[in-house]
Amino acid sequence: MNKHVIINDVGPRDGLQNQPRVLEIHQRVELINALVAAGVPEIEVGAFVSPKAVPAMAGTDKVFAQLKGDTVFSALIPNMRGYQSAKEAGVPLSSLVVAVSNTMNEKNIGMNTDTALVACQGVFAQAQQDNSEVQAYVATAWECPFEGEVSQADVIDVSARLLAIGAKRIVVADTIGAANPANVTSLMNALVEKFGAERFACHFHDTRAMGLANVYAALTAGVRRFDASIAGLGGCPFAPGASGNVATEDVVMMVEQMGFVTGIDMKKLLTASDLAIQLTGTAKGGKAKLWIEKYLS
Amino acid sequence: MNKHVIINDVGPRDGLQNQPRVLEIHQRVELINALVAAGVPEIEVGAFVSPKAVPAMAGTDKVFAQLKGDTVFSALIPNMRGYQSAKEAGVPLSSLVVAVSNTMNEKNIGMNTDTALVACQGVFAQAQQDNSEVQAYVATAWECPFEGEVSQADVIDVSARLLAIGAKRIVVADTIGAANPANVTSLMNALVEKFGAERFACHFHDTRAMGLANVYAALTAGVRRFDASIAGLGGCPFAPGASGNVATEDVVMMVEQMGFVTGIDMKKLLTASDLAIQLTGTAKGGKAKLWIEKYLS
């Protein structure tokens, strides 16, 4: 059994994106560097989106310009224009987002799923020409805030189409934190069986306290790549006051105690967590920080 | 597959036991009644221990005297003397606690495991004569704060002996919140295979954020009985500031969203949770409370 779990820390983008405090470029770089120092193998460093719409992500090109080393840095892009900006900035891996349900796509990006996939296809084709990589987030993969429960067959269909048109990887995302371990096991078993575990990552929220349980469920299905956010940074956009992303330090603690290997230095990760808490004033930190002495002894 | 999950709420004992505020008898009854009204099928209402040692549990007989209905009420007992007090008070189900490791038993109850089991045997024999029931907590079943990792073979051995000498049920307890979903699955698979799922319940702490993940892992092994504490009441005695019990409302939310049935009314359970928060000033409440509207729609 593959014992290597790869963590992608989305705190610097997904976490920072909706914070009351807009961090300075140098603060975003400081946070990312703390994650790099901890050995986090993949980090989502920002987004190439309208600075008016998302001021917290303005200057992602400047952030990226200051980063060094062989961490896999990525950025969120909404469309071809965002891809071009990412390419100009030298970012090697971009992430597109497509929801499963038509209503979610209509509300979010003003087009239905089919049209969204056509738009994605253009970006994948361009990336292939540029020798660049684009992965696809399949959002609201378990439940849509508008349409309710999402059918597994639809997720499989959208995933199949994305892989066929050139997505490097599919990140199956529980956008509103509605998945439970049973339907996570079920969906990820189906996807892994059909396409192979290496084509997938999972992105879970802890909104209903099931974040780690869902990570575990996905692990049993063979998934080895997980998004997480340092210090649990980032709320749930659909439920004010609700928690969002699973905390990186808690995911790392769980998988390592289960016998998996992440390559991450927990002590340095907790330093990064403290920094995230200090910089944002909102991040709470995971439960791992209470165990640092025990964990390290 | 058995879809019926039975929750035993330990908030009124395990939760209240170490609170800064010692609740009045009528407040403890009020909390228990709120749980009864929510349809919680089993409730640990108190402990028959020295009132000097555990002032919060003094008067458990008076608490029990005010309770009505067919909820399964239980009480913690340390020994034969506690059992006699419980019997006098009319409590139909008592819980003894035995750790797996010798050191934990020596530190906690001043005797090694073998001697502790002999003491238990006396209580079971008396209970059988009295047509009363006694269950056994197997504490520190995954990790002991003194001896470290606990061997699965030792847990199976202690469980076998307890069942042989008359324990109604074994509650496998992760006393310091150190278990992870892999070793939960492993241990509970072994116990369920050997003795049958109906002989076991599990008691998990959320100290390292793995509480619900461990509940899920035990569910996959066939376990259908879980301790939980309303509003997550109760800290971890070994890590100041660390959380303790899994919150009842979050366990119920997860298992019901997975398709299991608990017989519990979530709206009334959240009322009980609010009451626990208000009475103790320390309970935090689970994440279910943020979802009450969504959950009920």
Among the listed residues B120, B144, B202, B236, the single catalytic one is B236
- Distance to chain B for A293, nearest Cα, Å: 11
For chain B, 297 residues long, the average pLDDT of each consecutive 10-residue run is 96 92 97 98 97 95 97 97 97 96 91 95 96 96 93 97 96 94 98 98 95 98 98 75 86 97 96 96 88 59
Chain A environment of B290 (Cβ under 8 Å):
207, 239, 241-242
Q: Which residues of A touch B186 (CB under 8 A)?
A: none
What pLDDT does A292 receive? Answer: 66
| Residue carrying structure tokens 């919150």 | B247
Q: Report the share of chain A in percent with pLDDT over 90.
A: 88
Q: What is the pLDDT of residue B290?
A: 78
Cβ <8 Å between A216 and B215: no
Amino acid occupying residue A275: L
Give the model's pLDDT for residue A108: 86
| pLDDT for residue A297 | 53
| A110 contact partners, CB below 8 Å, separation of at least 6 | none
pLDDT at B114: 95
Identify all chain B residues contacting A291, using CB atoms and an 8 Å cutoff: 207-208, 239, 242
Compute the average pLDDT of residues A207-224.
Answer: 97
- Give the residue from A206, A255, A260, A294 with the most B CB atoms within 10 Å of its CB, the best one to mutate: A294
**pLDDT band at residue A259, thresholds of 50, 70 and 90?**
very high
Residues in chain B within 8 Å Cβ distance of A213? 181, 212-213, 215-216, 254
CA of A31: how far to CAs of A13, A23, A107, in Å?
Answer: 11, 10, 32
User: How many Å from the N-terminal Cα to the C-terminal Cα in chain A?
Assistant: 27
* Nearest C-alpha in B relative to A213: B213
Active site residue B202: no
Among the partner residues B180, B247, B291, nearest to A258 by beta-carbon distance: B180
What pLDDT sits at residue B18?
80
Token pair belonging to A110: 């003003």
Sorted by sequence, the CB contacts under 8 Å of residue B273 that are 6+ apart come out as B230, B231, B247, B248, B249, B283, B285, B286, B288, B289
Torsion on CA atoms A62, A65, A70, A74, rounded to nearest 10? 40
Q: What is the model's pTM?
A: 0.95
Contact at CB, A208 and B250, closer than 8 angstroms: yes
pLDDT at B292: 66
Token pair recorded at residue B30: 């009020």
Q: What is the pLDDT of residue B293?
A: 61
Query: pLDDT (tens digit, 9 = 90+) per residue, A46-71?
Result: 999 999 999 999 999 999 999 999 99
3-state SS string over chain B? CCCECEEEECHHHHHHHHCCCCCCHHHHHHHHHHHHHCCCCEEEEEECCCCCCCHHHCCHHHHHHCCCCCCEEEEECCCHHHHHHHHHHCCCEEEEEEECCHHHHHHHHCCCHHHHHHHHHHHHHHHHHHCCEEEEEEECCCEECCCEECCHHHHHHHHHHHHHCCCCCEEEECCCCCCCHHHHHHHHHHHHHHHCHHHEEEECECCCCCHHHHHHHHHHCCCCEEEEEHHHCCECCCCCCCECECEHHHHHHHHHHCCCECCCCHHHHHHHHHHHHHHHCCCCCCHHHHHHHHHHC
Q: What is chain A's mean pLDDT, rounded?
A: 94
A28: left (phi over 0), alpha (psi -120 to 50) or beta: alpha
Give the Cα separation of A66 and A63 in Å (integer): 6
**What span, in angstroms and rounded, lies between the C-alpha atoms of B234 and B215?**
18
Q: Do A216 and B181 touch (CB under 8 A)?
A: yes
Give the per-residue pLDDT at A109.
87
* Residue B20 confidence (pLDDT): 87
Q: Which amino acid is at B32?
A: I
Which of B3, B146, B180 to mutate to probe the A interface, most A CBs <10 Å? B180
Phi, psi of B277 (to 5 degrees): -65, -45
A5/chain B closest Cα distance in angstroms: 15
pLDDT band at residue A252 under the 50/70/90 scheme = very high
Whether residue A154 has pLDDT greater than 80: yes
Q: B40 and B5 in contact (C-beta within 8 Å)?
A: no
Q: pLDDT tens digit string along A69-123?
A: 999 999 999 999 999 999 999 999 999 999 999 999 999 889 999 999 999 999 9
User: Between A and B, how many CB-CB pairs are < 8 A?
Assistant: 92
Residue contact B208–A253, C-beta within 8 A: yes
